[in-house]
Amino acid sequence: MRQTFERSSYRRLLEDPPVLGWVAEGQRGSPALAGGRFRRLGNACAALKTTPGELAKMDERQAVAFLRQLVGECEARGITGVTTKGYVMAVKSRWRFNDLEVRKRVAIRQGAGIYDNERVPTREELQQRGLLAGHRFVLRKGRRSAGD
């Protein structure tokens, strides 16, 4: 199912035929991925006050400098490394569409994940929260019964 971008704050970018072609090509592969990359590209361009047309005119050296600036902006905003990588991949996808392959790697800081400090709760913690049934409850034929 193709996505429409009528309510997108970046829909003005689709007035540029090459951007529209990039989105259409992406939608032939995965509409959801194309929509996500379009939003990320629009956000990256807005954050660094540029346009997809200006991105298309960059050479590889300028592209690497742009990516470093983009990563720095994401870090300054407190955006996680995984999300930053999504922005970088969206911009690189746009460049590949324009036959610019950026081979140089740009380091992205991988901060602490939101699940890094998690552990399995103890039986007592589960009982306190009411998430653990007493020992008398058993499953019989797909339903709970009280220790019949």
Instruction: Tell me the pTM.
Output: 0.71
Q: What is the pLDDT of residues 14-67, one digit of tens each?
A: 888 989 899 999 999 888 998 999 999 999 999 999 999 999 999 999 999 999
Sorting pLDDT into bands at 50, 70 and 90, what band is 11?
A: confident
pLDDT value at residue 5: 76
Q: Identify the helix (H) or strand (E) that includes residue 12.
A: none
Sorting pLDDT into bands at 50, 70 and 90, what band is 125?
A: confident
From CA 64, how far away is CA 106, in angstroms rounded? 7
Question: What mean pLDDT comes out for the span 101-123?
Answer: 82
